[in-house]
Amino acid sequence: MSRLWRLWKILFVFTKYRLDGLIPLHLLPLSVRILLWLAPWRLRPVPAKLSRGARLRMALEALGPIFIKFGQILSTRPDLVPEDIVQELKLLQDKVPPFPEDEAIALIESQLGDTIANLFAEFSSKPLASASIAQVHTAKLNDGKDVVVKVVRPGIEHTIERDLQLLETMARLAVTYSSEARRLKPLEVVEDYRHTIYGELNLQIEASNATQLRRNFSESGHLYVPEVYWEYTRSKVMTSERIYGIPVANIDELRAQNTDMKLLAERGVEIFFTQVFRDSFFHADMHPGNIFVSRENPQDPEYIGIDCGIVGSLTEEDQHYLAMNLLAFFNQDYYQVAQLHVDSGWVPATTKVHELAAAIRSVCEPIFEKPLAEISFGQVLIQLFSTARRFDMEVQPQLVLLQKTLLNIEGLGRQLYPQLDLWSTAKPFLERWMRERFGPKAAFAELKRQLPTWIEKAPKMPGLVHGALTRLNHMDENQAQLQREIMALRKALEEQNRQKRHLTLGSLVSLSGLALWWQAIALGIPEVLGIGIGAFGLLWILLKA
C-alpha cells in the first residue's frame, strides 16, 4: 500500500509542476505521445510564474533525497541540460529547504548527551547549508576551534526506504517483462544504491571515510580534508573542522584571486585517478557543492573536499582491467579494448572481438585530440550504451559509482577550464601506475610483503606437498565413487518416476471402474463390469508397488 501511495505522490508531483513539458516528445513512440496528449493533467495550466527549471527543482525537492541526488548530478552537466535548468538545479547542492531549528538542536543534544550550551562556546541555530539528507550548523568549541555540526534530517530513513522499495518494485517489473532491462541488472543497481545511501545516513561512517581520505592525502598538498572531532560525533551528528575556501563553482571569484585554472583542472583529474588507482578509495559524491578551493597560494591551488558520505572502491582485478581499458582507449587500440571486455566478463565469452572492436572504434574515434569543451563523455557513454546492446554487454554494478564520479569530474573540468586535455593529463598517470604496479619494484615489494608468511609456512611445506600428492593419487578413486553414486541416484529417480506413472494409471483405472459401477443402470451395462475394472486398477497398484 505504501508503494502505491508513493507512486501516486510521484504522479501527483509530476502533474502539479507539469513536468510533461520537459519531455522531448519527438523521441517517444507514437503510442506514448498520443497517451501524453490525451492525459487528463493537460487540463491543468502550466504554473505561469515558474520557469521550467524552477518547476523541475521544486518537484525534485518535493519528492525527497533520492530525487534531489538525481538533480545534483544533472546540475553538473551543462552539455546535456539547458543552461536555465542547470542554474536552478545548482540550488539543490546546498540550498535545500532546512528542517526546523528546534528539531536540529534536540537531535544534537540527544545524540551527544548534553546541552548545546555545555557542548559549544557558540552555536548558530540558523543552518549554514542544507542538503538532501542533512544540514550543517556553525559552532565554536570550548577551546576556541571553529567547527561545523552536521545533523541528519529527522525521519529521513522512512522516506528513503519507501523510495527504495518503489525502485525495487519497478526494477522487478522491468526484469520480468524486458530482456533489455535484465541486461542492465536493475535489481543489483538498486541494491548497490541502497547500501550506498544507508551508509550516507550514518555519519560515523562518513567521519571514518573523511579520516581515511585525509590520511591518504596528508602529504600531497593537492587535496585537503577537514579534521573530524570524534568526541562530538555520533551516528546522526558529526562535528568537523570549519573551512573557509572558495566554492569551486564560483569561477569569477577564483579568477579574481588569479587562480591557475589550468593547473586546478589538471589536479582535479590527478586527484581522481590517484584515489581510484593508488588508494582504491575515492570520493564518489564530487558535485560542486562538496568541493572548495583554498584561498592560500592561488598559483599552486589546493582542493578542499567535504561530505565523504559516499565513497567507492574497486577490487585489484577491476583496477587492472579499468586501467588497461583506459590505456587501450588512449592508444586507440580498440581490439585490445574489446578483448579486455571479453576477458573481464563484461561481455559474453562468445562475442566476436573484431566486431566489438569495430563498433567501439566507430563511437570513440571522433573524441581523440579534442579539448574537453568539444567532448561530452555523457554523449559518448550514451552511444557506447546503444552500441553495446548488440553484444549483450551488461551493466557492472560495482562500477556504477565510478561512472557517476567520472561524470561529475567531467562537469567540474568543463566549468573550470574548458580547454583541458584530459587525455594528456590522465595517460601519463596511468602509465606510471602500471609501471609501479607490475614493474620490478612492485615485484620486489610483493616479495618483501609475502616473505614472512612463506618463512612461517616453510616447515609445513613437505607435509602439505605429501598431502596434495596423496589426494591426487586418490582422485581417480573418488571420481569413480562419485560416478557410481550419481548412477545409483539416477536409477532411483527413474524407479520413483516409474512407480508414479503406475500409481497414476492404476488410480485412473480404479476411478473409471467406480464411475461405471455408479452409472451402470443409466448406461445400461452390468454393474459387475464396473466393479471388475475398479478391482483390476487396485490390483495393478498393489502389484507395481
Owner of C-alpha cell 570520493: 283
Is the separation of the CB atoms in 322 and 252 below 8 Å?
no
What span, in angstroms and rounded, lies between the C-alpha atoms of 242 and 144? Answer: 12
The full DSSP string for 51-88 is -HHHHHHHHHHHH-HHHHHHHHHHTT-TTTS-HHHHHH
Radius of gyration (Cα) for the chain, nearest Å?
33
What span, in angstroms and rounded, lies between the C-alpha atoms of 389 and 400? Answer: 18
Q: Which residue, among 331, 330, 355, 434, has the nearest Cα to 341 in the 3D structure? A: 355
Q: Where are the alpha helices (DSSP H) in 238-284?
A: 251-256, 261-273
The cell for 223 is 587535496
- Exactly one of 84, 94, 146, 285 is catalytic; name it: 285
Q: Which are the contacts of 418, defined by CB distance < 8 A and separation ≥ 6?
A: 371, 372, 373
What span, in angstroms and rounded, lies between the C-alpha atoms of 505 and 536? Answer: 11
Q: Which are the contacts of 267, defined by CB distance < 8 A and separation ≥ 6?
A: 222, 301, 303
- The verdict on whether 392 is a catalytic residue reads no
What span, in angstroms and rounded, lies between the C-alpha atoms of 158 and 150? Answer: 20
What span, in angstroms and rounded, lies between the C-alpha atoms of 154 and 161? Answer: 14
Is the separation of the CB atoms in 290 and 305 below 8 Å?
yes
What span, in angstroms and rounded, lies between the C-alpha atoms of 138 and 242? Answer: 8
What 8-state DSSP symbol labels residue 97? P
- State how far the alpha carbon of 365 is from the alpha carbons of 346, 421, 430, 506, in Å: 21, 16, 20, 72
Active site residues: 285
